[in-house]
Amino acid sequence: MNIYIETNFLLNFGLHQEGFESVAQIIDAAKTLKLNLLLPAIASVEAISAMQRKHEKRSRVIQGVKEQLAQGERSPDPQRLTSLRTTAGVLSDLNREEATAVQEAIALVLACAEVLPLTANGMAQALEAQRELIVQPVDSVIFASIVEHLNQNPDPDISCFLSSDERLANKVSVPLTARNCKCFSNFDDGWQFVQRSLP
């Protein structure tokens, strides 16, 4: 059984977000070779990039808090700023903890998944998908990587694409279903399907 995954699979697993338990079960099944986990290479890069953007935004908030603290130190009652100091510390800790968690999640998935490379043919398909399906550039590359792998492996075995991005899943559902690959926009629903399909 082939399971194609994307960026949110990595992020939700690392950050313990929606569908975390189902994602963990799928990873465990991949470790025991009950299924093939397939990850477009660009998804791991996008996961790291998404975290960097999130942390840069949070860092700007931290800098703003620090500036307010510096100004507040000159006030008659600087003790009132204790909660702001705590907030800045918590946000800084979150940046470090999330970065570590996502990096560990990526490493764990890469240890049990096959990485789908971006080829010249795949890039051409991605550009076409971007025009025809009206999807974002990274999403088009993920879709094209999956399609290329399906075309190279016309196996009647069960395949599915798992994403927590409902918009993406809906846009690629028809062309993937035509290639005998089911689409799920919810990791819990995807795991239920996998459970029913495993021997």
Please state the domain extents for the chain: 2-43+106-197, 52-103
- Residue 125 identity (one-letter amino acid): Q
Residue 83 pLDDT level (bands cut at 50, 70, 90): confident
Our CA angle for 122, 126, 131, nearest 5°, is 155
DSSP state of 113: E
CB 137 within 8 A of CB 144: no
Give the whole-angstrom CA distance, residue 145 versus residue 117.
Answer: 7
Give the whole-angstrom CA distance, residue 94 versus residue 69.
Answer: 20
Give the whole-angstrom CA distance, residue 99 versus residue 105.
Answer: 10
- Residue 62, pLDDT score: 81
Query: Helix 120-132 vs helix 137-152: angle between axes, to the nearest 10 degrees?
Result: 120
Region for 19 from its dihedrals, namely left if φ exceeds 0, alpha if ψ lies in -120 to 50, beta otherwise? left
- Residue 65, pLDDT score: 80
Look up the pTM and report it.
Answer: 0.87
Give the whole-angstrom CA distance, residue 95 versus residue 15.
Answer: 11
CATH code of the domain occupying 2-43+106-197: 3.40.50
Residue 59 pLDDT level (bands cut at 50, 70, 90): confident
User: Tens of pLDDT along 149-172?
Assistant: 999 987 767 899 999 999 999 999
Kindly report the number of other CB atoms within 10 A of residue 195's CB atom.
12
- Residue 79, pLDDT score: 66
- Residue 80, pLDDT score: 65
